[in-house]
Structure 1
């Protein structure tokens, strides 16, 4: 087990960025202070050969230029807030819009576009810890929010991430990790052959702006039924009205168990290599994004990005929950602790 810290350049504003690399339990990972970004994760195939299974870039400038939130921790609110506004305790709050009239992933300068401060882990254990302070009014959100992100190796072939936050005034908080997965590794091609299972009986439809349409819908008999494993691309050609608006999958699934307990909610597998992971989380929802809108361009080790080069499985609170109390909690108040945990256990 080891931890190494190296420079990863400077932002356009001149801030230095560190890269923290660690290994243990059969995994190797690198996390950047920029966005608390999971920049590299090497996992073994059935023959024990390691390959990097997350998309990313070789240079900091590429992370800054990309609109795809590649590998970062996003917040204060993951996903969309319709109209970039919400009402809190009887007062309307206006947010910084960055997707038309709406806000996506916390605004133009969300948490994945900030340099987090590196902090220590006890006992030299393999991992990386970062802290971020978001000031009152940041991207329009009320209250000063103090956040902490801790990546760790937890036992054999298991990576964990814990996100915590406290506030001095009521504010929406809903964070997530935005890795793009390709278990085949660099150069493996599109992820449409990956087999996916999600423990969800219901999902939410979205319109062409990726905003929610109506309430929860049953997955049975639809392309959104992942209750048993199936290839991600199997049903994409079906003429289903909930696939058409966004050209594929970019939808939230209501996970069994609700918010709170850490439980296994999804499995992703790449049959050709034998790589697979089970995803456990405390979040109530899982956003499946098939990567159909990924821009073409160079990634790491000559691996070109493009449509379906990677997919996202984002454990989070429900999109637009600050405006939709029917979808569960959204507000953190002084004296409370927001805590989100996710684990990826590789087979």
Structure 2
């Protein structure tokens, strides 16, 4: 068996996506055989979180500690070097198929009450490919417990550079603010964009590299968009208004010779369980849903 469990392939026309059981991750998305997102092999674990689904929180929680409704909680430290809990509880879980047809796959996960997160959430992620519109990813969650639950969601796709160096990539970001972080990558505030990190009009990366969170996004008609373009084409990542934050991470050699630009839509800021920035609180029976997608360019 592949290290990431069962592998499902969905397709429409020449659009093909491969989704994996562990982490409900997107292992690859191609159009006409050309990689639109970065991928990895069946005998590999997702490098640097490639393609994984982030629930019930995205990014980091400082020290794995937070207090909710008066009760202090301590999560396991899954980023021990920095002392953080990172990327939620679904990353290494086997998600269960709920629906599958030629172009659509839905996977579900019951997040059970546990140390540090004593809440009950049922999460689902639906991947759908369309021959004209590309890939759409819909995340959903329902509080199936008896008490209120803190919640956040996100995804971790890497857009491919199609064989080009990062220096040759043109990046467009719809943000007006960048998060200011401490030495553990935990936000301590935000600031307006400087000339160096203002990519609203699209700029060639050159020597600039990112591992930054952004907010103050600028949706148009209910959608925000970010773009990665290369001399050989690129991709537009869109997201609906439920995603108020983006984490952007540029990485050479995600796998040998494969460079990528992670553009991660997130409902909340890193450490939102402590700061409250974008945090969702689901009452018993409450449901949440949000969508993002990728259109090849």
Q: Please report the TM-score for the alignment, with normalisation by the length of structure 2.
A: 0.88
Instruction: Tell me, in whole angstroms, the C-alpha distance in 1 between the residues paired with 2:138 and 2:284.
Output: 20
For residue 249 of structure 2, what is the aligned residue in structure 1?
A: 289
1:192 is displaced (CA, Å) by: 3.1
> Any idea what SS the aligned residue of 1:322 has?
helix
Instruction: Tell me, in whole angstroms, the C-alpha distance in 2 between the residues paired with 1:191 and 1:329.
Output: 33
| Residues 103-138 of structure 1: CA deviation (Å, up to 9, x unaligned) | 1112xxx312111111214xx45121111111101x
For residue 291 of structure 2, what is the aligned residue in structure 1?
A: 341
2:295 pairs with 1:318: no
Gap runs ≥5 in structure 2: none
2:211 to 250, 275, 286: 250
Which structure: greater strand fraction?
Answer: 2
| Residues 181-217 of structure 1: CA deviation (Å, up to 9, x unaligned) | 2141xxx14333221111111111223321113x220
For residue 5 of structure 1, what is the aligned residue in structure 2?
A: none
For residue 94 of structure 2, what is the aligned residue in structure 1?
A: 115
- Asked which structure has the greater CA Rg, the reply is 1
For residue 200 of structure 1, what is the aligned residue in structure 2?
A: 175
Query: How many residues are paired up?
Result: 290
Instruction: Tell me, in whole angstroms, the C-alpha distance in 2 between the residues paired with 1:177 and 1:190.
Output: 24
1:266 to 217, 226, 245: 226
Which structure: greater helix fraction?
Answer: 1
1:63 to 45, 51, 54: 45
Structure 1 contact 166–335 (Cα < 8 Å) conserved: yes
Instruction: Tell me, in whole angstroms, the C-alpha distance in 2 between the residues paired with 1:159 and 1:255.
Output: 25
Gap runs ≥5 in structure 1: 1-8, 45-49, 237-247
Instruction: Tell me, in whole angstroms, the C-alpha distance in 2 between the residues paired with 1:113 and 1:190.
Output: 31
Instruction: Tell me, in whole angstroms, the C-alpha distance in 2 between the residues paired with 1:56 and 1:125.
Output: 21
Instruction: Tell me, in whole angstroms, the C-alpha distance in 1 between the residues paired with 2:154 and 2:87.
Output: 9
For residue 203 of structure 2, what is the aligned residue in structure 1?
A: 230
2:109 pairs with 1:129: no
